[in-house]
Amino acid sequence: MGPYPHESSTRPAQPFEIAARDGSARTGTLRTAHGDVRTPAFVPLASNASVRGLLPAEVADLGYDMVLGNTFHLFITPGHDYVRALGGLHRFMGWDGPIVTDSGGFQVFSMGHGSVSDEIKGRRDGRRSMVHEISEDGVRFQSYMDGSERFMGPETSMEVQAALGSDIALAFDECTPFHSDRTYTLRSMERTHRWLDRCVAWQREHAPAWQLLYGIVQGGVHEDLRAESTAYVAAADVDGIAIGGSLGQDKDQMREVLGWSLAGLPDAPPRHLLGIGDVDDILHAVAAGIDSFDCATPTRLARHGTALVCDPDRRWRLDLTKAAVAGSAEPIAAGCPCPACAGGFTRGYVHYLARNRELTGSRLLALHNLTFMAELMAGLRAAIAAGDLAAYTARVLAGDAPYRA
Ligand SMILES: [Zn+2]
């Protein structure tokens, strides 16, 4: 590992400093071996060791401190030994800032739970794998790359994340889909808790001393299970807490389940909400006390020709492939400081690029959408520090730009 000059030899006892609060919301600094993360933070996906289409310096210039690498996909290809031999994930992908890696649990169980995973997150098109067996040890499955049988359990997940050398590892968990009944969700949650203990044991002994470990709260849409899982994860030897699993079938239920998951959490550990990235959901979750988010939406929308704009009635989305924007000389969003809008590129131009699947189109939209999210998070941090989070949230929900005056 290393040698990064800023890579400390051990993880700090208290990796998270809260600088200011507004109600339940917090703004602060998460300290990792590869630098600080300003919170609340949105974390762009670098699933396959790249923020698709962008260079690391571009991602940093947009205002991002941390990216997320995908344990399952990097395990399948190119393999964690391959990445380790090329210096670990930071050096491999040329990003020397903080990296969080997910547990691999979501992808490995998505295969077994089939298309219902689509209700939580998009599936990789045309690259389905098959689960052969789920046991106390872990999951046996058929690789989508070459059809070979592979295995991933808690120790495998920790081993992969240690080899990648991420700053934050996530404990291996089962992400139960919304349709799971209470009995299955309970059994799964209890197994996830046993897996957490195995992850802690392996990670503390073998992983780089500076790697932080987050446990994951599960429990589906059941209040008592969420409470039990929150208590279990909070009592474990972890550095932070992630909230995962199905949060319900609509936004009202999601907010209720999030509330159950946060109730009774100790104040000090940083809290990450997995896979949530809609503007109104982030506004709600920050007010409820979430410190970081990851989501594929901004970059995935960009690849499909959709921009994030100040339009709450259309879920902050503008589809630039539609004929209505053909020939438009407007910028994607007036006042947006991103390289696309500030650079003078028009809706009409991006429409043409997107319709013809030009890479420049998805690059411009990725730069724009990630700028929108970065500005939103910067606005939230400033609002919490200033004690006017409610007013800022109301303005954004009313369609104001997230950019602060
Ligand atoms: Zn823009």
Could you list the pLDDT tens digit for every one of the 405 residues in the chain?
Answer: 444 445 667 888 889 999 999 999 999 999 999 999 999 999 999 999 999 999 999 999 999 999 999 999 999 999 999 999 999 999 999 999 999 999 998 888 877 675 444 434 444 444 455 888 889 999 998 888 888 999 999 999 999 999 999 999 999 999 888 888 999 999 999 999 999 999 999 999 999 999 999 999 999 999 999 999 999 999 999 999 999 988 888 999 999 999 999 998 999 999 999 999 999 999 999 999 999 999 999 999 999 999 999 999 999 999 999 999 999 999 999 999 999 999 999 999 999 999 999 999 999 999 999 999 999 999 999 999 999 999 999 999 999 999 765
**What does each C-alpha distance from 176 to 66, 85, 112, 115, 153 come to in angstroms?**
27, 34, 10, 12, 16
Collapsing DSSP states into helix, strand and coil, what is residue 131?
A: strand
Measure 367 CA to ligand 1 centroid, in angstroms: 7
Q: Is the domain of 314 the same as that of 209?
A: no
Output the domain CATH number for residue 112.
Answer: 3.20.20.105
Three-state SS for 268?
coil
Written as six digits, the tokens of 22 are: 């507004």
Do both 179 and 111 map to the same domain?
A: yes
Residue type (1 letter), 33: A
Q: Would you call the peptide bond into 98 cis, given omega within 30 degrees of 0 as the criterion?
A: no
Query: Can you state the angle between helices 182-206 and 154-164, rounded to 10 degrees?
Result: 40
Check if the beta carbon of residue 124 is closer than 8 Å to that of residue 170: no
Distance 255 CA to ligand 1 centre (A): 29
Residue 333 CB burial class (10 angstroms; 0-12, 13-18, ≥19): buried
Residue 134 and residue 224 in one domain: yes
Tell me the CA–centroid distance for residue 307 and ligand 1, in Å. 8
Distance between Cα 336 and ligand 1 center (Å): 5
Do 236 and 361 belong together in one domain?
A: no
Contact 272, 39 (CB under 8 A): no
- The answer as to whether 6 is a domain residue is no
Final residue belonging to a domain, choices 271, 295, 319: 295
Residue 99 lies in a domain: yes
The residue segments making up the domain with residue 28 are 16-295
Q: Are residues 208 and 266 located together in one domain of the fold?
A: yes
Residue 328 lies in a domain: yes
Q: Which residue has the tokens 């131009």?
A: 349
Is residue 351 domain-resident? yes
CA 301 – ligand 1 centroid, Å: 14
Domain shared by 280 and 315, yes or no: no
Q: Do residues 181 and 328 share a domain?
A: no
Known catalytic residues? 102, 294
CA-atom Rg of the chain in angstroms: 20
CA dist 136 and 331 (Å) reads 54
Residue 81: how many other CB atoms lie within 10 Å: 10
Ligand 1 centroid distance, CA of 333 (Å): 6
- How far away, in angstroms, is 338 Cα from ligand 1 center? 4
Q: Ligand 1 centre from 372 Cα, in Å?
A: 7
Residue 120 confidence (pLDDT) = 43
How many angstroms does the Cα of residue 339 sit away from the middle of ligand 1? 7
The rounded Å distance from CA 35 to ligand 1 centre is 27
List of residues 6+ apart from 74 with CB closer than 8 A: 48, 49, 80, 83, 89, 101, 160, 164
Residue 256 belongs to a domain: yes
Site of tokens 């970065």: 374
If asked whether residues 42 and 144 sit together in one domain, one would say yes
Please tell me the predicted confidence (pLDDT) of residue 108: 85
**Position 383 in a domain:** yes
Do 107 and 139 meet the contact criterion of CB atoms below 8 Å apart? no
Which string of b and e fits 241-254 if b means at least 16 CB within 10 Å? Answer: bbbbbbbbeeeeeb
Q: Is residue 184 part of a domain?
A: yes
- Please give the pLDDT value at position 114: 57
Give CA–CA dist 29/378, Å, rounded: 13
Same-domain pairing of 287 and 319? no
Q: Separation of 226 CA from ligand 1 center, angstroms?
A: 39
Q: Are residues 102 and 149 in the same domain?
A: yes
Whether 225 and 111 share a structural domain? yes
Residue 11 lies in a domain: no
Q: Say which residue the tokens 């400093």 belong to.
A: 17
64 alpha carbon to ligand 1 midpoint, in Å?
16
Report how many domains make up the chain. Answer: 2
Residue ending a domain, among 295, 330, 347, is 295
- CA–centroid distance, residue 370 to ligand 1 (Å): 9
Question: Is 373 in the same domain as 291?
Answer: no
Where is the domain boundary, 295, 318, 348? Answer: 295
